[in-house]
């Protein structure tokens, strides 16, 4: 899943400081890897039933305001892929499955949501059958039908129209590479999904995909009645199955949610309906919004912000209980186009990169924000921390004169003196321009030539998202979050050759051997994969080095004083919205 702040990350890396890490230690000593990780475990509970257990002391009523500096690109269930769109969508879209956060450490457990179970796999693993719950209604009272699920899945193949959405169905479902969605001629006939009766959904696969129940938690699997599908305008009036419904949506500005009267708590093992509504205000000023939330005066006590606290606001945190902290399944990276930068040079870039100084200039908070040495973040099961020399996410790099001189002489030795490094940055963003200046000074000191191209902040995503852009550093995705707790939502998506075509490639690797290695692991049973992915991780870093892991993003959000049960959802690295309540509504 793309990181919510991808726009900013691409060049800026981060507007804000970062999160507090370690759930177990509040002081969070630097680089203490033992306190990291283990937040996401592949746990399932196929028999979970609604209603969700009540939160202690929860009250009903009131409206929660969410002041957000980032703007989700879409709320169309098929097109949502950024973590924040997904998390907000959970309030009004129900999927086949969902995560329940268990226990004091909020361990995510996959439970059936609109399905009766977590799906049954055929013997060959190519056919999945989901039993559907009965009596589910949309907000207008019309019943949800089995073909609505099938239609939603068909809709997700119209990737030209919903180009931001996830693409696993095209890689794994039957005829996924050929079928182009329900809008083209003959689009109604798709053999990949079947609804033999009113409470069964059958999905046919082209190749084994044991993580399908996890994928089924995406809003892409929410039922969509064909008659109500207005394509690109669907997000204006989507059919809600969750506890809330969209009352008004102005793209980029505001999303208002009110209670969904047709939602039946007895069918939902995860969600609550404590507050009367949510008011999401987007495109706010980060510092201003966070300061407001921290001060919690008047209506701001009912507000929260889901970006990590800016480091300059640290002295203003008077009450630690106002901060939501916890793990998030994301790694932020410095990507290098392997087609344009030879491996020898990539190794020298890694040596010259001034991690420590860069972290300060970018405003990262060290105690909250652990430096990364691996591609997989600690929250992914099977994570095994390893540190290759010089790739620990720390170090002075070319800030150290000796290192700079060494890199310079080695560059000369391999005949690459003045090798040009180029990247995009947003010219109207202070942090982006400063980190760019800093890196430029350091890389030039180490004998590279630097061409930094300033583009407006509003457009930078278009530039960095182009896999064939005429730069060799910093193409997105520069931050990645697990789609579900497994390496399968990382390596096949990011490092295989076909990732370039799907627009998700990290390092633009086109290596047959690596493709084969990744495919071999994907074919294994989920439990066997765990350790294998770490091996792949290390292999990529040792042999290919397409990326410098920078840090593992973790959560550290400010919430207003009146908001109760504000907890971090480790599957998204965002607040868990569906169980929030107001202490004094």
How far apart CA 511 and CA 334 sit, in angstroms, is 20
Size of the site for other proteins (CB under 8 A): 39
Give me the least distance between CB of 427 and other proteins, in Å please.
Answer: 6
Q: How far apart are CA 28 and CA 211, in angstroms?
A: 33
Stretch that binds other proteins, among 246-254, 260-268, 427-435, 547-555 (CB under 8 A): 427-435
Q: Which of 354, 507, 546, 558 binds other proteins (CB under 8 A)?
A: 354
Q: What is the smallest separation between the CB atom of 315 and other proteins, expressed in angstroms?
A: 5
Question: Shortest CA distance to 340 belongs to which of 164, 509, 566?
Answer: 509
Check residue 294 and report its DSSP letter. H
First to last CA, the chain: 34
Q: b/e for 17-46, b at 16 or more Cβ within 10 A?
A: bbbbbbbeeeebeeeeeebbbbbbebeeee
Which are the contacts of 164, defined by CB distance < 8 A and separation ≥ 6? 73, 74, 79, 80, 81, 82
Q: Which is nearer to other proteins, 270 or 471 (CB)?
A: 471
For residues 240 and 311, which CB has a smaller minimum distance to other proteins in the complex?
311
Which residue is it, tokens 């370690």? 22
Q: Is 178 in the site for other proteins (CB under 8 A)?
A: no
Is 316 near other proteins (CB under 8 A)?
Answer: yes
Among 134, 297, 312, 584, binds other proteins (CB under 8 A): 312
Complete edge-to-edge strand list for the sheet that includes strand 244-250: 244-250, 254-259, 277-281, 63-67, 303-304
Interface residue with other proteins among 434, 444, 467, 539 (CB under 8 A) is 434
Shortest Cβ 399–other proteins spacing (Å): 7
Region from 180-188, 351-359, 379-387, 552-560 binding other proteins, contact rule CB under 8 A: 351-359
Residue 169 in 3-state DSSP? helix
DSSP code at position 150: H
| Of the residues 25, 26, 30, 140, which one makes contact with other proteins according to CB under 8 A | 30
Report the residue from 433, 466, 497, 526 that binds other proteins according to the rule CB under 8 A. 433
CA dihedral 397→403→405→410, nearest 10 degrees, is: -90
The residue among 162 and 358 lying less far from other proteins, judged by its C-beta, is 358
In the complex, least distance from residue 77 CB atom to other proteins, rounded to whole angstroms: 35
Residue 370 touches other proteins, criterion: CB under 8 A: no
Q: Which is nearer to other proteins, 427 or 502 (CB)?
A: 427
Q: Vertex 328, ends 322 and 330: CA angle to 5°?
A: 140
Nearest distance from C-beta of residue 547 to other proteins, angstroms: 23
Of residues 234 through 293, those in contact with other proteins by CB under 8 A are 287
317 binds other proteins (CB under 8 A): no
Cβ proximity of 372 and 332 under 8 Å: yes
Residues 6+ apart with CB under 8 A from 472: 336, 337, 340, 341, 420, 421, 422, 423
Which of 41, 314, 388, 513 binds other proteins (CB under 8 A)? It is 314
- Residue 161: CB atoms within 10 Å: 16
Please give the helix or strand (H or E) that residue 11 lies within, else none.
helix 6-12
| Least distance between other proteins and beta carbon 310 (Å) | 7
Contacts of residue 231, Cβ cutoff 8 Å, sequence gap at least 6: 161, 183
If binding is defined by CB under 8 A, does position 195 make contact with other proteins?
no
Comparing CA positions, the residue from 188, 273, 268, 189 lying closest to residue 226 is 188
Least Å distance between CB 395 and other proteins?
12
Q: Which stretch binds other proteins (CB under 8 A): 31-39, 360-368, 560-568, 577-585?
A: 360-368
Of 354-362, 496-504, 536-544, 563-571, the window that binds other proteins (rule: CB under 8 A) is 354-362
Contacts of 206 (CB under 8 A, 6+ apart): 126, 172, 173, 174, 175, 176, 177
Residue 366 engages other proteins in binding (rule: CB under 8 A) = yes
Residue 315 touches other proteins, criterion: CB under 8 A: yes
Q: At its nearest, how many Å lie between other proteins and the CB of residue 10?
A: 15
Instruction: Quote the least distance from Cβ 461 to other proteins, whole Å.
Output: 16
Q: How far is the CB of 387 from other proteins (least distance, A)?
A: 19
269/366 with CB nearer other proteins: 366
Contact indicator for 44, 110 with CB cutoff of 8 Å: yes
* Subset of 451-490 contacting other proteins (CB under 8 A): 451-456, 470
Taking the complex as a whole, the smallest distance from the CB of residue 362 to other proteins amounts, in Å, to 8
Please say which residue, 144 or 469, places its beta carbon nearer to other proteins: 469
Going by their DSSP bridges, the two strands 449-455 and 244-250 should be labelled as unpaired
> What is the C-alpha separation between 105 and 108, in angstroms, rounded?
9
Q: What letter would DSSP give residue 581?
A: E
Choosing from 313, 317, 500, 502, the residue that interacts with other proteins (CB under 8 A) is: 313
Asked if 311 touches other proteins (CB under 8 A), the answer is: yes
Residue 188: CB minimum distance to other proteins, A: 46
Taking alpha carbons only, the member of 64, 71, 66 closest to residue 85 is 71
Is residue 437 within the footprint of other proteins (CB under 8 A)? yes
Q: Which tokens hold the place of 151?
A: 């239609």
The minimum distance between CB 285 and other proteins, in angstroms, equals: 10
Q: For residue 178, what are the contacts with CB-CB under 8 A and spacing of at least 6?
A: none
Which residues form the interface with other proteins (CB under 8 A)? Answer: 17, 30, 287, 310-316, 354, 356-357, 359-363, 365-367, 399, 427-428, 430, 433-434, 436-438, 440-441, 451-456, 470
């Amino acid at each position: 899943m793309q990181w919510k702040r991808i726009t900013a990350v691409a060049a800026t890396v981060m507007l804000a400081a970062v999160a507090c890490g370690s759930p177990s230690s509040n002081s969070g000593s630097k680089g203490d890897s033992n306190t990291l990780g283990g937040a996401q475990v592949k746990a399932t509970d196929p028999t979970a039933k609604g209603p969700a257990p009540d939160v202690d002391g929860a009250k009903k009523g009131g409206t929660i305001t969410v002041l957000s500096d980032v703007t989700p690109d879409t709320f169309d269930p098929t097109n949502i892929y950024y973590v924040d769109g997904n998390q907000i969508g959970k309030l009004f879209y129900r999927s086949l499955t969902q995560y329940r956060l268990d226990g004091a450490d909020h361990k995510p457990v996959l439970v059936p949501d609109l399905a009766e179970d977590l799906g049954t796999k055929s013997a060959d693993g190519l056919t999945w059958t989901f039993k559907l719950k009965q009596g589910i209604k949309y907000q207008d009272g019309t019943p949800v039908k089995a073909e609505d699920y099938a239609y939603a899945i068909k809709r997700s193949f119209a990737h030209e129209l919903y180009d931001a959405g996830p693409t696993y169905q095209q890689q794994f479902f039957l005829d996924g590479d050929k079928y182009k969605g329900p809008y083209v001629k003959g689009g109604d006939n798709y053999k990949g999904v079947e609804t033999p009766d009113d409470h069964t959904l059958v999905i046919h696969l082209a190749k084994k995909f044991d993580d399908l129940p996890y994928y089924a938690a995406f809003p892409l699997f929410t039922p969509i009645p064909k008659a109500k599908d207005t394509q690109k305008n669907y997000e204006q009036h989507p059919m809600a199955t969750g506890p809330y419904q969209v009352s008004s949506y102005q793209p980029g500005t505001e999303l208002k949610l009110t209670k969904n009267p047709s939602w039946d708590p007895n069918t939902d093992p995860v969600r609550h309906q404590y507050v009367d509504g949510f008011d999401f205000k987007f495109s706010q000023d980060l510092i201003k919004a966070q300061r407001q939330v921290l001060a919690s005066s008047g209506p701001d006590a009912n507000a929260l912000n889901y970006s990590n606290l800016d480091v300059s606001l640290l002295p203003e945190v008077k009450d630690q209980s106002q901060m939501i902290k916890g793990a998030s399944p994301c790694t932020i990276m410095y990507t290098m186009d392997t087609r344009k930068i030879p491996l020898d040079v990539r190794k020298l870039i890694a040596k010259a990169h001034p991690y420590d100084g860069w972290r300060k200039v970018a405003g990262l908070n060290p105690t909250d924000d652990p430096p990364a040495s691996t591609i997989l973040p600690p929250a992914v099961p099977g994570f095994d921390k390893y540190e290759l020399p010089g790739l620990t996410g720390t170090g002075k790099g070319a800030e150290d004169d000796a290192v700079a001189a060494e890199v310079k002489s080695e560059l000369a030795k391999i005949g690459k003196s003045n090798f040009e490094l180029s990247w995009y940055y947003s010219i109207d963003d202070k942090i982006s321009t400063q980190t760019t200046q800093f890196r430029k000074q350091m890389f030039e000191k180490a004998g590279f030539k630097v061409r930094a191209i300033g583009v407006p902040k509003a457009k930078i995503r278009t530039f960095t998202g182009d896999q064939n852009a005429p730069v060799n550093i910093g193409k997105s995705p520069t931050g990645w979050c697990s789609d579900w707790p497994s390496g399968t939502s990382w390596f096949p998506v990011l490092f295989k050759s076909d990732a370039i075509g799907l627009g998700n490639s990290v390092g633009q690797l086109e290596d047959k051997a690596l493709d084969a290695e990744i495919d071999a692991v994907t074919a294994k049973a989920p439990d066997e994969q765990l350790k294998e992915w770490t091996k792949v991780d290390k292999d990529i870093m040792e042999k290919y080095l397409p990326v410098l892991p920078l840090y593992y993003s973790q959560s550290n959000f400010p919430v207003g004083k009146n908001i109760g049960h504000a907890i971090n959802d480790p599957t998204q690295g965002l607040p868990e919205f569906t169980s929030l309540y107001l202490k004094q509504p």
